Amino acid sequence: MKKKIIILISLFIILVIVFAPAKLAKNLLPENNQLMISGLQGSIWSGEIDTIEIKDWQFQEIDYELSLISLITGNLGATGEIHRGDLKGDFFFEFKDSKNIEVGDVNVETSAVNLEQYVPFPGVELAGKISTQDFNARLEDNKPVNLSGVTSWNNASIDLNGQKWTLGNFDVLWSTDVEKNIITGTLSKSKKNKIDIDGSITLTKIGLLEFNGSIAQSTDKTIYAAFTLFANGKPANGRLPIKFKKKIF
C-alpha cells in the first residue's frame, strides 16, 4: 500500500511539472540573475521564450526543456536553442545560484561586432564570426574555473581609423588543469591565419590572463609594428616572441 501511495505521489508531482504553465519557470530562477524574460509560452517543463535580455545582449525565439536531474538535485538546469538575436545556437545550462553557473555542449555563433564593447582600444571595429564547438564552462562566484572545447574566429578582420586588416581564421583549444587551477587556450598556426600568430593563453584563478607566443616578421608592417609593443625578446628564425598580461577580474 505504501509503495502505491509513493508511486501515485511521484506521478502527481511529475504531472504538475509537465503541465504547469511556463510563467512559473521565472520563480525557479535565482535572485539577482540579471535576466529580463518576456513571452513565456508552453509548460514549465518544455516551452518557448520570445526574448531574453542580459546586459547588452538580446536573444530571441528560444526553445527550452528543463532537466529533471537538475531539479532533483535542487538546481535549475535546461537544454536550450536560440534561433534569433545577438547569438544563435544550442546549449545546456545549470544554475546552482546567481554566482555559480555551468554551461555545456555549447555550439553557438555570434558576430564579432558584438564583442567590440569588450575591446580596450577605442575606435576598433571587428568583423567575422565567433563560434564555439562542444564548449563547456563552469563559473564559481562569477569567475571561470573550468573551460574546455574550441572557440573560433573565422573571416576575422580589424578596422582601425579607416584602415582594415584581414586576419584570417583562428581556433583556440581550451583545457583546464584542475590541480593547478589554470585554464589554458592553445592558438595554433594555420594557412588561414594570415598574420601567422601562434601561442598559448593562460588564465589563473586570481584572474590574470597571459598570452605567450610569436608572430611572423613577414606579416603586414603596420600590424607587426603594433605587436612589437609586446616583444618578449629579439626576433629569431623569422619570428618575434611576444607576451601580454592583463588582470581581467
User: Which helix (H) or strand (E) segment is 2 a member of?
Assistant: helix 2-19
> pLDDT value at position 62?
92
pLDDT the model gives residue 227: 84
H helical segments located in 31-114: 68-72
**Continuous H helices in 160-220:** none
Please tell me the predicted confidence (pLDDT) of residue 134.
93
d(CA 245, CA 225) in angstroms, rounded, equals 18
In this structure, are residues 168 and 157 in contact, taking their beta carbons and an 8 Å threshold? Answer: no
DSSP codes, 173-184:
EEEEETTTTEEE
What is the model's pTM? 0.79
CB atoms within 10 A of CB 89: 16
Backbone torsions φ then ψ of 219, nearest 5 degrees: -70, 175
Question: How do the domains of the chain map onto residue ranges?
Answer: 2-247
Measured distance CA(60)–CA(83) in Å, rounded: 6
Predicted pLDDT of residue 245: 85
User: Per-residue confidence of the chain (249 residues) as pLDDT tens digits?
Assistant: 545 444 444 444 454 455 455 555 665 566 666 778 888 888 777 888 899 888 788 999 999 888 877 766 777 788 999 999 999 999 998 887 778 889 999 999 999 999 887 776 677 889 999 999 999 999 888 888 999 999 999 998 888 777 888 888 889 999 999 888 899 999 876 666 777 888 999 998 888 889 999 998 888 888 888 888 889 999 999 999 999 888 878
